[in-house]
Structure 1
């Protein structure tokens, strides 16, 4: 399954590369809150991400997030996504995310993981040509959600 998703993503990247208006790489970080349905409370999350923007409507992105810590339970997320953006005003865009997601749980020395589809929606604001900010809601698994605020540097 991972190989199929990776191959599909690379094929999409290759097909859109020729139509890129102003392509650019970007890196960034975010902080937020993670909620897991059967676990009490929301915990602080922190993540890093990097991607490639082909044009104002299409990007691919990889990321890592420490989802939070509830006592002995620690959650980490690894993701590869395709992002579709729609400009709605000067410097403002709404976007949707669809991708592959590996969520790992560690508790009392035991380790487990889940491979699932990743869904997300957000709003971004382009402060300068190089700096953008974003607010995003993600659903990494059917029983978890994360909301985060992030900043990215485009080069």
Structure 2
């Protein structure tokens, strides 16, 4: 999987380098975009770093202002809880977050920019037993905030990296602070 991701990124970088001399990178807002990313989040139960996956879409109203919405899969973990006097029950926990935010972008050059996002996040933690005999869900709403940078590889493809806060930190599972990066595709 990692080799495939690196091969795709290398291909996009090579295509971007080939077009860099002939393509203007000036913003042509308004425009819509979609993106995909991966990142890391700390798990409060195991203290390990878990991989995250993110998909998002947005609309740039002009060179500076836009709106964005997305979904992040924040990973899963398993743990044992006391059930009765001597029994332990295995529990699976899956975490995810949805967000909607306003976005402000400040260009640094024709190809690079920094941005900030502010909005609302809805986070969910789903608990279940392996055999499906029980399950329940906790959710919370809170402030979504992110700061990041992006670099245009081509007129329509950008590489981004960001640090985001997905609402309130849950009692169990993935924390709310996520470091991620990926690709954004304009159309």
User: Which TM-score bucket, shorter chain as reference?
Assistant: 0.7 to 0.9
Structure 1 residue aligned with 2:153: 127
Match runs of 1:1-150 below 5 Å: 22-37=29-44, 40-71=47-78, 72-108=92-128, 109-143=135-169, 144-150=176-182
For normalisation by structure 2, the TM-score amounts to 0.68
User: Runs of 4+ in structure 1 displaced over 4 angstroms?
Assistant: 36-39
1:154 equivalenced with 2:186 (yes/no): yes
For the 8 Å contact 1:36–1:145, the answer to whether it is kept is: no
For the 8 Å contact 2:143–2:168, the answer to whether it is kept is: no
Structure 2 residues without counterparts, runs of 5 or longer: 1-27, 79-91, 129-134, 170-175
For the 8 Å contact 1:34–1:45, the answer to whether it is kept is: yes
Aligned length: 135
Distance 1:101 1:51, change over 3 A: same
Q: CA deviation at 1:90?
A: 2.9
CA separation in 2, counterparts of 1:96 and 1:39?
31
CA separation in 2, counterparts of 1:115 and 1:36?
19
Provide Cα deviations, 1:40-78, integer angstroms capped at 9, x if missing partner: 211110011011011221110110110111221111111
Q: CA deviation at 1:89?
A: 2.4
Structure 1 residues without counterparts, runs of 5 or longer: 1-20
Q: CA deviation at 1:22?
A: 2.2
For the 8 Å contact 1:74–1:105, the answer to whether it is kept is: yes
The alignment partner of 1:89 has SS state of coil
For the 8 Å contact 1:131–1:152, the answer to whether it is kept is: yes
Q: CA deviation at 1:83?
A: 0.8
Q: CA deviation at 1:142?
A: 4.2
For normalisation by structure 1, the TM-score amounts to 0.81
CA separation in 1, counterparts of 2:109 and 2:155?
16
